[in-house]
Amino acid sequence: MTIHELLSTLKANLNQTDITLYPGASEQLIQQFEQEMALVLPADFKTFYFLQWVSLR
């Protein structure tokens, strides 16, 4: 399953979950997070958060 497929599935079934979807993070915000935490996020993780931010309620 691709990231796009995962997000489509989540959106289609959102009312059946305890998940909240938020707009994606900016590249600047992700870079700031990486700097503050002194780490580098994997590329697929960054892609996911560029597209959509997910939180459990």
**In a structure prediction context, what are the per-residue pLDDT tens digits for the chain, which is 57 residues long?**
888 888 888 889 888 988 888 888 888 999 999 999 999 999 988 888 888 765 545
Q: Contact at 8 Å (CB) between 55 and 19? A: yes
What are the φ and ψ backbone dihedral angles of 40, each rounded to 5 degrees? -120, 120
- What's the whole-model pTM score? 0.61
